[in-house]
Amino acid sequence: MAQQTTVLITGCSPGGIGHALAMEFHKRGCHVIATARRPGVLRELGAMGMSTLQLDVTDQASVDACRDETAALTGGRLDMLVNNAGRMSVMPALDQDLDDAKAVFEANLFGTMRMCRAFGSLLMRARGLIINESSLGCTVCPPFYSVYSSAKAALIAYSRSLRRELRPLDVRVMVVVVGCVESAIWENPASRTDLPPDSLYQPARDVFRRAQASDEFLRSTLADVFAAKLVTAALRGEGRLGGWVGGSPDWLWEGAYVGLGRLCMALPWGFSDLVSFVMCNGNRMTRLIREAAAAKLKTA
Active site residues: 148, 152
- Bridge partners, residue 6, by sequence: 31
CA torsion angle for 105, 108, 109, 114 (degrees, to 10)?
110
Sign of CA dihedral 32, 244, 257, 134: positive
Strand order in the sheet with 251-254: 51-54, 31-36, 6-9, 80-83, 129-135, 172-178, 251-254
CA 293 to chain centre: 37
SS3 at position 67: helix
The Cβ of residue 220 has, within 10 Å, a number of other Cβ atoms equal to: 19
CB within 8 A of 191, min separation 6: which ones?
88, 89, 90, 185, 212
* Cα separation of the two ends of the chain: 81
Cα–Cα distance between 42 and 39 in angstroms, integer? 5
Q: What is the largest CA-CA distance in the chain?
A: 81
8 Å CB contact between 50 and 4: no
Cα–Cα distance between 170 and 122 in angstroms, integer? 12
